[in-house]
Amino acid sequence: MTSTTGREISATPRRAHPDLNQEFLPHRRQLPRWLTIPALVAALLFGSWAVSHLPTSSSVTNDQFLRAGTVGQPVDLRTGSVKVTGVRSAAEIQSGNQVATTPGIWLVVDVDFTPRNEPRNLLPPQLSDSMERSFGDSQAINVPPCSSGQPGMVLGCTFALELPTDALTGATLLLHSEGSLYAVPFDVASIDLGIDDSRAEQLAAETGRVVLKEPQVKGKA
C-alpha cells in the first residue's frame, strides 16, 4: 500500500477478536466409553428399584394413619379428639319422623367429639368386621349429622349403622372429621368396640327401638 508521501506502508493484518464462547469456556471431560455403559445400567437399575420401593405422592396422600383406641378412651387426631362412650343395638331406629327396621341389627354408637383449632364436623363412621367387610357407606335412614362442633367444646353425637348380625363380633369403628382427609396423610380413629361372641349374641337379640337425638353440647373439654 502506498501513502500520499510515497512511502510504502505494509498493512499488518489485524488479529481477529477471539471467540470468547470457545476460548474461555471450560472444556468438558467425557467419560471413557468403557465407563458409560455400566453407568447407564446402574442408573436404570436404581430407577427401577425406586419406582417399586419408594412411596409416590398419591400413595402418601391416600395412606391412612390409624389411631387405635377402645370404648371410653379418647383418641387424638390432628383435627380434634373422639371418644366412643356407648355401644347398644336396636331392631329399629327412629330419626325425626322416620322409622327404619332391618333384617339384621342396628348398631347404635354414642361418640364425644372435641374439635381442635376451628369448627369441624365429625363425618359418619364406617365399621369394619372380622371378615374385613365394611359397612356404613349408605343407610336406610337419615342420621342426625355430628356437625358444627366448636373448638374445645365436647359435642355428643349418636350414630346408627345397619349390619348383619355376623358382623358384630370383633367389630372396629372408624372415625374421622371433616378436613382430616385433606391432610397428608390423614388420620383415622380405629376404635375396637370390644364385642366378643357373648356380647354379639346379646346385641343381636335386641328387639326394641332407639330414637336418635340431635347432637348435644356437653361443655368444655
Quote the Cα angle for 161-190-60, to 5°: 115
User: Which cell goes with 156?
Assistant: 355428643
CA dihedral 166, 177, 80, 172 (to 10 degrees): 10
Q: In whole angstroms, what is the distance from residue 211 CA to residue 197 CA?
A: 26
The answer as to whether 12 is a domain residue is: no
- Judged by average pLDDT, the poorest of 52-56, 129-133, 140-144 is 52-56
Q: Where does residue 90 rank: exposed (0-12), middle (13-18), buried (19+ CB within 10 A)?
A: buried
CA neighbor of 215 nearest in space, from 115, 128, 117, 88 = 115
The answer as to whether 73 is a domain residue is: yes
The answer as to whether 15 is a domain residue is: no
* Domain that includes residue 198, residue range: 63-220
- Number of domains making up the chain: 1
The answer as to whether 107 is a domain residue is: yes
Q: In whole angstroms, what is the distance from residue 168 CA to residue 196 CA?
A: 8
Cα-based distances in Å from 55 to 188, 190, 199: 20, 23, 41
pTM above 0.75, yes or no: no
Residue 138: the pLDDT is 77
Burial readout 192-212 (b: 16 or more C-beta within 10 A, e: otherwise) = ebebeeeebeebbebeeebeb
CA neighbor of 205 nearest in space, from 168, 159, 160 = 168
Residue 82: CB atoms within 10 A of its CB come to: 27
Using a pLDDT cut of 90, give the percent of the chain over it.
62
Give pLDDT tens digits for 79-88: 999 999 999 9
The answer as to whether 202 is a domain residue is: yes
Task: CATH number of the domain at 146, please.
Answer: 2.60.40
Which position has the grid cell 467419560?
A: 31
Give pLDDT tens digits for 15-43: 444 454 444 444 555 656 655 666 666 66
CA neighbor of 212 nearest in space, from 110, 81, 105 = 110
The answer as to whether 205 is a domain residue is: yes
Q: Place 142 in a pLDDT band, splitting at 50, 70 and 90.
A: confident
Residues with Cβ within 8 Å of residue 84, at least 6 apart in sequence: 69, 70, 71, 72, 109, 110, 111, 173, 191, 193
Question: Which residue spans within the chain are E strands per DSSP?
Answer: 65-70, 75-77, 80-95, 98-115, 120-122, 126-128, 134-135, 146-149, 153-163, 172-175, 187-192, 209-211, 216-220
Q: In whole angstroms, what is the distance from residue 169 CA to residue 196 CA?
A: 5
The answer as to whether 19 is a domain residue is: no
The answer as to whether 105 is a domain residue is: yes
